Structure 1
């Protein structure tokens, strides 16, 4: 399978490209927004691509003729809040133009990386894909808008099959801003601020498990449009996380009062339709 990966310069993109390119069954085309983002590995093709440039995107798909696209490229976090117009352009409009180009050039499948943030965090139990969405940030709102655009496009017979992966809190190599990694590298000079201990719970999914899900989604026989949660399926409190990390090195942190906050994936669908099985679950 020939696979084009957008956003290959990011932490998840680098891990995914390495995993896919290690298989003789795959030919990988890694796209980067800037040349200096490229991975210094020669086992796959690397091209520069601005996903907001519709002509560039169309030309790349016409030239490369991939069987599938994994779309990772996005504007995330605080950058979305500081420039909502750019977030709309990158996270919504670029997805729509990529989908149209994929239809023109007969791409069979599009795997789209979305976020658990579309559900919000006012939950009390693991959330399934049928749960109501409640995005509260620009990033989450634009990701949900992109999902809706993909669902609408999938009603046409000429567009690729779409798998949306709603990814929960990613940690691991390259994710230095995740709470897991910040606690691991905390110090007296740089303590981590925690919003409560037992009342703040999150589902932490390792980047290796996320890329496992991406690879599985590329070959899974699904319907025209599917949304699948990708997490560990375990709700880990700040207190549990601190205890788990302390097995290696005691973290340095301060606790501030905060309202109860809960977010965890029901991964039953991922297990059923993808054969997904997380290998790096944090067990308190």
Structure 2
């Protein structure tokens, strides 16, 4: 199948590209490089043994998207392109609505014009908000508590309306939990620009000496060790979930919201302890007060993905940490 990946050089997009290329799909990658690097393309070509088609461009450029869809006879789109910092979305909401919502609308308009109607949307567990019960299943009420989550929910709602109006569309909205880890080669992984917003890349940079210590925001939650618990999922499991979703939308019309998680929550200290084994070094940490908006615990019910997609996560926390450290160590020349 000919597939366009928007945000294709990003963390999740690049790993998904590896899985899809290995399955024999023909890929076109689009990225504006606002949160990624051109070096990722060379690494993807090395891993896959292919010269992947790439366009530097923005999903808001409808004319460019139409041209790509037509030129490469694209049959399906995986839409990763989106800004993802919860903190930044609060301080600069218009940037997030413009990129995440308006950008998605521009992409869907281009797809509609060229009659490409198979879509995987990169959504987020943040659409659920404060848990009314756990684990979150796909019928849990949606009430995001930050701007980032609201942009994801708005795009889901747009796609629901699109599917209702055009029943020949095939759409899967994949609600991610907490992607971590890296490709087994260590060539690609999570490489945020500036100070990381997420726990794993922050731990990686402390371990490599780029940052002095890790701030632990709250150790007095009602959890097993007082720190927040999250459903961490290996990025390669997540990538394989996208491949399974491509197969699903190829067979089924309509729209589905599907969780991609492990169903197993790990605490901040669980992750630190596992990472210290991976890196064979201590992670300096300083306990700070709780951050506003942080939830004590959340995790997925992933039964729907197993039933509809034939997919479930298989990689554990230690492998997530091992692969993250391998990527960081290679990046910093530590091995």
**Fold match (TM-score > 0.5):** yes
Find the counterpart in structure 2 of residue 12 from structure 1.
12
Question: Deviation of residue 257 (structure 1)?
Answer: 4.3
Q: CA RMSD in A?
A: 2.4
Q: State the distance in 2 between where 1:22 and 1:199 align.
A: 39
Which 5+ residue runs of structure 2 have no aligned equivalent?
183-188, 220-224, 319-335
Q: State the distance in 2 between where 1:175 and 1:49 align.
A: 21
Question: Deviation of residue 161 (structure 1)?
Answer: 0.9
Task: Identify if the C-alpha distance between structure 1 residues 229 and 16 changes in structure 2 by more than 3 Å, giving closer, same or farther.
Answer: same
How do residues 43-58 of structure 1 correspond to structure 2 at under 5 angstroms?
43-58=51-66
| Residue 72 in structure 1 maps to residue 71 in structure 2 | no
Question: Deviation of residue 54 (structure 1)?
Answer: 2.0
Show CA shifts across 1:92-130 (max 9, x none): 122122222212222241000011111124465210010
Specify which structure has the higher proportion of strand: 1
Find the counterpart in structure 1 of residue 32 from structure 2.
33
Find the counterpart in structure 1 of residue 206 from structure 2.
186
| Residue 238 in structure 1 maps to residue 247 in structure 2 | no
How do residues 85-164 of structure 1 correspond to structure 2 at under 5 angstroms?
85-122=94-131, 125-157=134-166, 160-164=169-173
Q: State the distance in 1 between where 2:97 and 2:110 align.
A: 19
Contact 1:100-1:159 at 8 Å conserved across structures = no
TM-score under structure 1 length normalisation: 0.90
Question: Deviation of residue 138 (structure 1)?
Answer: 1.2
Find the counterpart in structure 2 of residue 208 from structure 1.
236
Q: State the distance in 1 between where 2:129 and 2:94 align.
A: 22
| Residue 63 in structure 1 maps to residue 71 in structure 2 | yes
Question: Deviation of residue 175 (structure 1)?
Answer: 2.4
Which 5+ residue runs of structure 1 have no aligned equivalent?
none
Task: Identify if the C-alpha distance between structure 1 residues 3 and 158 changes in structure 2 by more than 3 Å, giving closer, same or farther.
Answer: same
Task: Identify if the C-alpha distance between structure 1 residues 270 and 276 changes in structure 2 by more than 3 Å, giving closer, same or farther.
Answer: same
Contact 1:186-1:192 at 8 Å conserved across structures = yes
Contact 1:3-1:67 at 8 Å conserved across structures = yes
Specify which structure has the higher proportion of helix: 2
